[in-house]
């Protein structure tokens, strides 16, 4: 008897101790504990610390900022890939969001923004709205809040073209989709890949191809309606866009085994001139700056996917979205918020943008064209200035429908789902979640 009571008491306390821990609130840490006027802010950033290009570039920006602001100390934590999002989510759920955090404009980080964990940046930004691309100033919250100040404009669909190979094969840049398809046999006969794209991770086909094709096949007006719920994703126009991806696959226009190639192998094949075309986002220019030789840079050009038959959208359009950027924790004090804003404004505002432009990015902040930049960067800026832009699907739809859609595109390429089924399932999921 005695033992039983003791045992049950032990068990009770085992359960109670952690329960109490959950129940108690978290102490706010004092940021200026030393009283020396230095504000320390924690920053959570998406960065591959081993990347030979982006990591040193980012460090350079931090160094410039810290030199100019000796009273602000930034302490960084980096996450990368899926791990970044897992950790962010865990931090958000436990109320341990860092002071400054990298967020995405669309649904990807909505668990942070929707929960009211970050501040609306509009009061800080007011007066500067015109200095940014319009796309970057679109409201991100239900009431038009700006949760993060976009650093870049992401053009997600560029058809990089190797003009040397084209010439060698006696081909010219295709004006129409049919012309592109007609080039397939000649390119393959030469032992080359027509269009290099690596889709193992399932997002590239959606982000770099589908959004662009939807704008072409359906037009921007339809796209707006579909997002608002006035048009349906199983409309024939949308199915037609899916059909084009299916055709590209069936006619062997894409990298062989594209669905088993990890992202990056697409670029590898292009840099090694095993592929004539390469579809990817504008962010890859960053890598091309370092990886293409000076000679290669003279004959690699940035193009749009050719126009498709019965096109309703704009000619040679691409898909683009305002990119990620830093937001700040809603719990910050006035002084901390001001310090955090200094960093955000430095990073996405004129100073940081100018630096990042030189590194090969496409800042959302309006800048003059860079005269002394790398040729590939100049090409990217020129490309961005001339093409019409539609939406990127994952920036306008929620995480779960997009996740399923990405996978369904793979299913469709394997022939286990038809374009029509893919469209219907997307419509069903979007409708179920509520637009």
Instruction: Provide the binding-site residues for other proteins, judged by CB under 8 A.
Output: 2-3, 6-7, 10-11, 14-15, 17-19, 21-22, 24, 26, 44, 48-52, 55, 77, 80-83, 85-87, 89-96, 111, 114-115, 188, 191, 193, 200-202, 256-257, 259-265, 267-268, 272, 287, 399-400, 403, 407-408, 410-411, 414, 416
To other proteins, the closest distance from the beta carbon of 312 in angstroms equals 29
Phi, psi of 274 (to 5 degrees): -95, -10
Residues in CB range of 347: below 8 A, 6 or more apart = 61, 65, 149, 151, 325, 326
To other proteins, the closest distance from the beta carbon of 123 in angstroms equals 24
To other proteins, the closest distance from the beta carbon of 137 in angstroms equals 27
Among residues 176 and 272, whose Cβ is nearest to other proteins?
272
Among residues 116 and 123, whose Cβ is nearest to other proteins?
116
Among residues 17 and 368, whose Cβ is nearest to other proteins?
17
CB atoms closer than 10 angstroms to residue 339: 26
User: Residue 65 CA to chain centroid, in angstroms?
Assistant: 25
Among residues 14 and 335, whose Cβ is nearest to other proteins?
14
Among residues 149 and 187, whose Cβ is nearest to other proteins?
187
To other proteins, the closest distance from the beta carbon of 407 in angstroms equals 5
From CA 307, how far away is CA 299, in angstroms rounded? 23
To other proteins, the closest distance from the beta carbon of 405 in angstroms equals 12
What does R_g of the chain's alpha carbons equal in angstroms?
24
Among residues 338 and 400, whose Cβ is nearest to other proteins?
400
Among residues 119 and 410, whose Cβ is nearest to other proteins?
410
To other proteins, the closest distance from the beta carbon of 107 in angstroms equals 10
Helices (H), 169-317: 177-189, 203-204, 211-228, 236-250, 265-271, 285-291, 294-299
Give buried/exposed letters for 255-294 (b at 16+ CB in 10 A, else e): beebbebebebbbbbbbeebbbbbbbbbbbbbbbbebbee
To other proteins, the closest distance from the beta carbon of 361 in angstroms equals 16
Q: How many helices (H) and strands (E) are present in the chain, helices listed first? A: 19, 12
Phi, psi of 168 (to 5 degrees): -60, -35
Whether 327 and 147 have beta carbons less than 8 Å apart is answered as yes
Among residues 109 and 353, whose Cβ is nearest to other proteins?
109
Give the residue among 296, 305, 114 at the shortest CA–CA distance from 215: 305
- How far is residue 401 from each of residues 96, 201, 393, 395, measured CA to CA in Å? 28, 16, 10, 12
To other proteins, the closest distance from the beta carbon of 291 in angstroms equals 9
Whether 46 and 102 have beta carbons less than 8 Å apart is answered as yes
Among residues 83 and 182, whose Cβ is nearest to other proteins?
83
To other proteins, the closest distance from the beta carbon of 266 in angstroms equals 10
Whether 88 and 79 have beta carbons less than 8 Å apart is answered as yes
Helices (H), 69-208: 81-93, 110-113, 122-125, 163-168, 177-189, 203-204
From CA 298, how far away is CA 194, in angstroms rounded? 20
């Amino acid at each position: 008897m005695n033992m039983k009571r003791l045992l049950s008491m032990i068990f009770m306390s085992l359960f109670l101790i952690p329960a109490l821990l959950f129940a108690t609130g978290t102490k706010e840490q004092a940021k200026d504990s030393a009283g020396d006027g230095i504000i320390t802010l924690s920053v959570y950033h998406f960065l591959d610390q081993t990347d030979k290009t982006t990591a040193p570039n980012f460090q350079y920006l931090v160094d410039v900022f810290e030199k100019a602001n000796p009273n602000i100390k930034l302490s960084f934590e980096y996450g990368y890939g899926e791990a970044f999002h897992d950790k962010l989510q865990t931090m958000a759920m436990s109320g341990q969001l860092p002071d400054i955090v990298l967020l995405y404009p669309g649904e990807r980080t909505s668990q942070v923004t929707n929960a009211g964990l970050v501040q609306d940046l509009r009061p800080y930004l007011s007066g500067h709205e015109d200095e940014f691309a319009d796309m970057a100033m679109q409201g991100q919250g239900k009431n038009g809040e700006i949760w993060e100040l976009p650093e870049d404009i992401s053009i997600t669909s560029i058809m990089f073209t190797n003009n040397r190979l084209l010439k060698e094969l006696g081909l010219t840049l295709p004006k129409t989709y049919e012309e592109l398809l007609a080039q397939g046999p000649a390119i393959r006969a030469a032992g080359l890949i027509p269009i290099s794209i690596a889709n193992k991770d399932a997002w590239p086909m959606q982000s770099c191809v589908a959004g662009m094709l939807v704008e072409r096949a359906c037009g921007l007006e339809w796209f707006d309606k579909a997002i608002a719920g006035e048009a349906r994703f199983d409309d024939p126009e949308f199915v037609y866009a899916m059909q084009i991806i299916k055709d590209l696959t069936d006619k062997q226009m894409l990298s062989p085994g594209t669905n088993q190639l990890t992202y990056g192998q697409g670029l590898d094949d292009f840099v090694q001139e095993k592929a004539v075309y390469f579809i990817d986002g504008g962010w890859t220019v960053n890598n091309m700056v370092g990886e293409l030789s000076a000679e290669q840079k003279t004959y690699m050009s940035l193009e749009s996917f050719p126009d498709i038959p019965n096109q309703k959208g704009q000619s040679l359009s691409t898909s683009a979205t305002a990119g990620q950027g830093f937001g700040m924790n809603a719990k910050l004090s006035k002084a901390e918020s001001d310090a955090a804003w200094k960093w955000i404004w430095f990073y996405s505002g004129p100073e940081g943008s100018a630096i990042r432009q030189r590194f090969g990015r496409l800042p959302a902040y309006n800048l003059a064209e860079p005269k002394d930049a790398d040729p590939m960067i100049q090409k990217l800026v020129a490309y961005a200035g001339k093409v019409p832009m539609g939406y990127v699907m994952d920036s306008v739809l929620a995480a779960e429908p997009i996740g399923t859609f990405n996978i369904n595109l793979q299913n469709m390429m394997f022939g286990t789902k038809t374009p029509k089924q893919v469209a219907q399932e997307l419509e069903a999921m979007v409708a179920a979640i509520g637009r």
